[in-house]
Amino acid sequence: IMELRNSITDAQKAKNVSLAVWNEAIDSLLLVLAPIAPHITEELWAQRGHGYSVHQQPWPQWDAETAKEESITLVVQINGKVRDKIEVDAGQDDEALKEIALASDKVQGWLEGKPPRKVIVVKGRLVNIVK
């Protein structure tokens, strides 16, 4: 709920959202807040011009395709300590993540020109390098 509220606030500040998207975001926020704060959401729902009760509306639908992240922050650890964070495209395989991590200038500095003993990849999250 807080992430949605923060996204709505950021969009309001940036002023780069159409009225239809804005209205859908506010209505979705009211729908998910309704079980927690029923009286105020009912009042706000009526003020927005909706005829029926907010509690009689269908729950917002989840769209997995829209929610997919296009990029992720890959955390690179050396001997268990975070040494770098790299933005990479989501969905890359383990070998590609390993190569990206080992190619980082910060990682090369920590490795001091020596090859790593072991590289552990947690897909989509982190690469742990053992010196």
Structural domains of the chain in order of their starting residue, each with its CATH number: 2-67 (no CATH), 71-130 (3.10.20.590)
Task: Please state the pTM of the whole predicted model.
Answer: 0.55
d(CA 7, CA 46): 23
Give the model's pLDDT for residue 15. 81
Is the pLDDT assigned to residue 106 strictly greater than 90?
Answer: yes
Look at 8-17, 53-62, 70-79, 116-125 and tell me which has the smallest mean pLDDT. 8-17
Q: What does pLDDT average to over the chain?
A: 90
* Segment 104-108 mean pLDDT: 93
pLDDT of residue 50: 92
